[in-house]
Amino acid sequence: MIDDVTIRRAERTELAGALRVWRAANEARGKLPDAARIKRVQEKLTDPVALPVVAVNRDTVVGMALAEPGRADDGTGPELPDLCHVSMVFVDPAHWGRRIGELLLAEVAEVAVHTGARRLQLWTGTRNERAQRLYRRAGFVPTGRVHDHGGEAIIQLERPL
């Protein structure tokens, strides 16, 4: 726990707060999500195999992370039992710079170990330096894989558990 922030597996009642954090962080970065994207994130948060984690400050969600079973073929193939894919890490902009993202990733790692995963992976934008710094601090290293994602170059990072 940092100051008055608690990191834990999300309760169902906290998923709306997680969505709010996701939206606020995207909007602060100038990435306004459309209705279809919002719906997709809502579905991912409530997926029975999802591993949502939240940072809570005084009963308010101020950070969220979402992991899910890793899959072969960049997410289109069968599940890989040793892999956990981190699909989202977002912190409310009012709480940026407090290392909450690191705590969220540490909790994701803890939860993933209990599912049998031996490694975490994620993708992030090549121009998203803030995220890359966070992931390096959390032990992620680039795998060398780069893809185009909607006109933006993204890199894959991975860390052992």
| pLDDT tens digit sequence for 67-96 | 999 999 988 899 999 999 999 999 999 999
pTM over 0.85: yes
Superfamily of domain 5-160: Gcn5-related N-acetyltransferase (GNAT) (3.40.630.30)
pLDDT tens readout for residues 24-43: 999 998 989 999 999 999 99
* pLDDT computed for residue 21 by the predictor: 98
**Of 111, 108, 156, which Cα lies nearest the Cα of 132?**
156
> In this structure, are residues 64 and 103 in contact, taking their beta carbons and an 8 Å threshold?
no
In angstroms, rounded to a whole number, what is the distance separating the alpha carbons of residues 83 and 67?
10
Q: What is the rounded end-to-end Cα distance, in angstroms, of the chain?
A: 21
* pLDDT computed for residue 150 by the predictor: 87
**Of 30, 34, 99, 19, which Cα lies nearest the Cα of 66?**
19
- List the domain boundaries for the chain: 5-160
